[in-house]
Structure 1
């Protein structure tokens, strides 16, 4: 059964490939990105698939998010995938933290997914599948942190995992499943050329997890291969 999926950060990497894989199976894809004029691959995807609708959106602009909610006021959204993310400066160790960048990363990775959930919860609740997912990262797992460092990106993903957990409780009565996802170490602009898996493999795994999401696994942190990751 197909449906409608809204994906943020759809212009490249995992977001683009997830959009492609859902579109190829007949799903209606609401593909969001900040700058459509520079999203050549995403525009090409929309030309290939008539079921892909392009929508400009900066997830850190809360007025723009609210405006998109009004634009899509008559829609039901089966899956809301908060994929847009910002890594910030790399190699951030103790004593070398850019606090302005930290705030910027938190705005994108932690606050924006909550704002999206608050804005689109009614539309998700009105759908058949009722799933909200956030692309987190294993580096946000407190149990998995054995190397230290990475204060900015790590903390943003740990914090959004807590947002996911609270949403899973607060939205359960509305039948909405909320999950955090780890895409694996993926060969993207963020993951780099030494990463372990292709974007196609990651997206295919994420798609399977999304399609199997339910209230039974709501509030969990799930790897792209379906295994659970400790908080």
Structure 2
């Protein structure tokens, strides 16, 4: 039985990932920040699911949890924070920027570091980070979005460095774009639902090998430009 560790699993894409991997018979470890906002996750009754309260920016807690858990085959860094919307040039909230960078770029690396021993003991040795196409320099033709764009560009850089450091040790490290998804973050006008996104993402993760390590891949399997 394979084991997956998924952050930010209380709603949206994270919750759909949980349901997908449970349906596939995986052992699933899921994290959530607050029980008050995680009723859908905590109401799932499945012996294969273990839920862990965790703030992904509390790195001592991350390390302590990693030391308590057995081998992990797949780490999915899904937890993310968008930050403020609707601001323009000249109105950037520096404190919010720091928070978004912390959650979206620093925490995924610290999770990879903390769970590295668990992943070494696993069979698949895969790390998947939920990025976004808005982090692509090539795709940025409209400007704005300084906070979220820069955080995902930073995450992409983390993924690239991780792939260079770990691929020779049997790891596959991916940056994934989930599509524009109908979630609290994506909004009601988004193009696809979470099930469509997760179906594609899980297929990309399953099919990926070390040759794809360090790639930026869309949920439909196509490669995205940096």
User: What TM-score do you get using the length of structure 2 for normalisation?
Assistant: 0.98
Q: Does 1:85 align with 2:84?
A: no
Q: Is the 8 A contact 1:92 1:152 kept in 2?
A: no
Residue 57 of structure 1: aligned partner: 54
Partner of 1:4: 3
1:123 aligns with 118
Structure 2: tracts of 5 or more residues without a match = none
The structural deviation recorded for 1:92 is 2.9
Q: Give the secondary-structure state (helix, strand or coil) at the position aligned to 2:199.
A: helix
Residue 22 of structure 2 corresponds to residue 23 of structure 1: yes
Q: 1:189 Cα shift?
A: 0.3
Q: What corresponds to 1:207 in structure 2?
A: 202
RMSD of equivalent CA atoms: 0.9
Following superposition, the deviation at residue 43 of structure 1 comes to 1.1
| Structure 1 segments of 4+ aligned residues over 4 angstroms from their partners | none
Q: Does 1:67 align with 2:29?
A: no
1:110 is matched with which residue: 105, 109, 124?
105
Determine the C-alpha separation between the residues in 2 that align with 1:153 and 1:92: 12
Once the two structures are TM-superposed, the CA of residue 124 in structure 1 deviates from its matched residue by: 1.0
Q: CA deviation at 1:153?
A: 0.2
Per-residue CA deviations over 1:74-108 (Å, capped at 9, x if unaligned) read x1111100000000001232101000000000000
Q: Give, in angstroms, the shift of residue 180 of structure 1.
A: 0.2
Deviation of 1:38 after TM superposition, in Å, equals: 3.2
Residue segments in structure 1 that go unaligned for 5+ positions in a row = none
- How many Å separate the matches in 1 of 2:173 and 2:156? 10
Distance 1:71 1:200 in 2: 31
| Paired position in structure 1 for 2:90 | 95
SS of the residue corresponding to residue 43 of structure 2 reads helix
Q: What residue number does 1:222 align with?
A: 217
Work out the number of aligned pairs and report it.
226
1:41 match: 40
Question: What is the deviation of 1:218?
Answer: 0.1
Q: Distance in 2 between matches of 1:59 and 1:153?
A: 18
